[in-house]
Amino acid sequence: MPPRTTWPTLVMTDVAAAHARERASYWPAILAGMCATVVSNGLLRFAYGPILPALVRENWLPEGQAGALGSINLLGYLAGAFVAGMAARRFGMSGALRLGMALGFLTLAACAWNGGFAWFLLWRILAGFAGGILMVLAGPAVQAMVPAQRRGLASGLVISGIGFGIMMGAILVPLVLAWSGLPATWLGLAATTALLAAIAWPIWPDVPAPPPSSHPHSALPPAAIRMLGRYTLAALAATAHLIFWPDYIARGLGQGIDAGAFWWLVLGAGTCCGGILLGSLADRIGAARAIRVALAIQSLGVGIPLLVDNTAALAVSSLCGGITCVGLTVLAMVRARIFGAQAGARVWGLATIVWGAAMASGGFAMTFLLVTTGSHLPIFALALAASLISLALEFTERVDS
């Protein structure tokens, strides 16, 4: 005779089964979101950094034109972020995300042909455009599938794709360049994008596109405006590591290109775990408190180069810069949800635009400081000031706002 099953046992079994079904429903969405962020920033944007010197060395482009394409890509990124919501409403959320992946593949494959500056200009703008669409839509699409108590971790996993993309670029691009040259490198990035698109294609979350705002030009809540202002300052501070860190080590400290590449790889490792760590922290203590922790870590990371430059200091600063450049993005995505699903999507889209614009303007300002002073230290001083001001302003807000 089979053992008798009690009512509490049945209830516990049903609950466990429900939790298992819930997890099974959102983990594929998280994987798809990670594929999108690997492509959007890791391959379409940051992988260009290791390629730039080869474009000049192999006479595909002069130095000025090759450098300008980095900023051009960012302009396309801002445009893609701006129209992402409209694309989702036109093609559906999953359709817009698939379009972004397909366009990203096409732009990388097209760059395998040396068609001159005008050719690269077109495709690098479109690469940024595809990246902006993917970055704006992937996070909210995944969040719509995930229970509220798991959104911090889920967002951290999705945004950590940026870190994996940075590491892939730091490791694979120099190897393929040395082995097969520029065309094979571009085609390798395109093939990687195609593989990630094939993984994500059938598992994109089937969620509705964010509806158009009934008052698209209405003012945002004051708390959202203040949040975007603080996020702008954090983005300005992050620019010091994301743009100038390898150059600071290679030329500023005189340690050479290989050392700069190594510490850039360490920073990439920080980005891989930073979103997960800070996202999980937000699930435990709330996004507002987690942001304060993240800004304190960021201030430490940009402040260290002003005081010391030994190996331990470079390790800590690299990890702090990597952890927070992605972690703050995760926390902004989670925090935007307090304004509701529709307003939160609007705030997140604006946050993506603000981050890109702050990095672009901050990059120009910091380049000016570097050229006029001949030192990287003013760059980190400006970054430290921005991070500390953002942290101070955070303490003027309620923790639930």
13-39 b/e (C-beta count within 10 Å ≥ 16 → b): eeeeeeeeeeeeebebbbbbbbbbbbb
Residue boundaries of the structural domains of the chain: 25-202, 220-401
- What is the rounded CA–CA span in Å between residue 80 and residue 276? 26
What pLDDT is attached to residue 17? 40
Contact assessment for residue 352 and residue 132, using Cβ atoms and an 8 Å cutoff: yes
The amino acid that residue 336 corresponds to is A
What pLDDT is attached to residue 111? 96
The gap between the terminal CA atoms of the chain, to the nearest Å, is: 59
Which class is 25-202 in CATH? mainly alpha
| Residue tagged 């409209």 (tokens) | 86
Handedness of CA 260, 111, 157, 380 (dihedral sign): positive
List, as one string, the DSSP characters of 104-116.
HHHHHHHTTS---
Neighbouring residues of 92: CB distance < 8 A, sequence distance ≥ 6 = 209
Q: Hey, what are 96's tokens?
A: 């817009």
Per-residue pLDDT of the chain (401 residues; tens, 9 = 90+): 445 544 444 343 444 444 444 455 788 889 999 999 999 988 998 888 778 778 878 899 886 788 778 778 888 988 998 899 899 989 998 999 999 999 999 999 999 999 999 999 999 999 999 999 998 898 888 878 788 777 777 877 887 888 888 888 778 888 888 888 899 999 999 999 999 999 999 988 777 776 665 555 567 788 889 999 999 999 999 989 988 888 788 878 988 867 877 888 899 889 888 888 898 898 889 888 999 999 999 999 999 999 999 999 999 999 999 999 888 988 988 888 777 767 777 887 888 888 888 887 887 788 788 888 989 999 999 999 999 999 999 999 876 65
Contact assessment for residue 338 and residue 285, using Cβ atoms and an 8 Å cutoff: no
Phi, psi torsion values for 232, nearest 5 degrees? -60, -45
Domain 220-401 has CATH 3.40.50.300: no
| Residue tagged 């120009």 (tokens) | 364
DSSP 160: T
What pLDDT is attached to residue 7? 44
- What is the rounded CA–CA span in Å between residue 127 and residue 104? 6
